[in-house]
Amino acid sequence: RQQSHTSNILNLLPKNDTHSLSKKPISLPTSMAHYYNLFTVFLLWVLLMFSWCEASRSSLNGFDHSYGRFKSDSLIKRRDDITRLKSFVRASLRSTTVSVSDFGAKGDGKTDDTQAFMNAWKKACSSNGAVNLLFPQG
């Protein structure tokens, strides 16, 4: 019964392909397999050396380990980042309002308010955070 099942499968295959079931898988000669393994190990070694060279060229925290010195570009970028952060913090602090009227400005078009503006400007510039300069109506 099993033989008839096998022959039924063989009948489903194209006639010129019936002999392919009897073929064994191709195997490399022992010496060829040995060279294949050596080649694989060699490629892995090359990849490892390449990645090691790339890693040794990169710097960590702005310090160039391959030459033992700081990279100035990295330090400049960090200084710029810190300056921007300080500006952001300063701007995000609660703002102060300086009114020019508090320094004697009238804003009537007749009185000279120059000194009041100068004093208000000086006060605004001495503040740590953001400043709103309030002008009198007129």
Question: pTM of the prediction?
Answer: 0.34
- What pLDDT, on the 0 to 100 scale, is given for residue 53? 66
Q: Which amino acid type is present at position 97?
A: T
Query: For 133, phi and psi rounded to 5 degrees?
Result: -95, 115
- Which burial class, exposed, middle or buried, applies to 105 when counting CB atoms under 10 A from its CB (0-12, 13-18, 19+)? buried
pLDDT tens digits, residue range 80-130?
Answer: 666 666 666 555 556 788 898 999 988 888 889 899 989 998 988 887 777
Instruction: Give the number of C-alpha atoms closer than 13 A to the C-alpha of residue 54, restricted to the C-beta side.
Output: 6
pLDDT tens digits, residue range 43-75?
Answer: 888 888 777 766 555 544 444 445 555 555 555
Query: For 118, phi and psi rounded to 5 degrees?
Result: -65, -45
Neighbouring CB atoms inside 10 A of 116's CB total 20
pLDDT tens digits, residue range 7-52?
Answer: 555 555 555 544 555 555 555 566 677 777 888 888 888 888 777 7
Tokens of 120: 């208000």
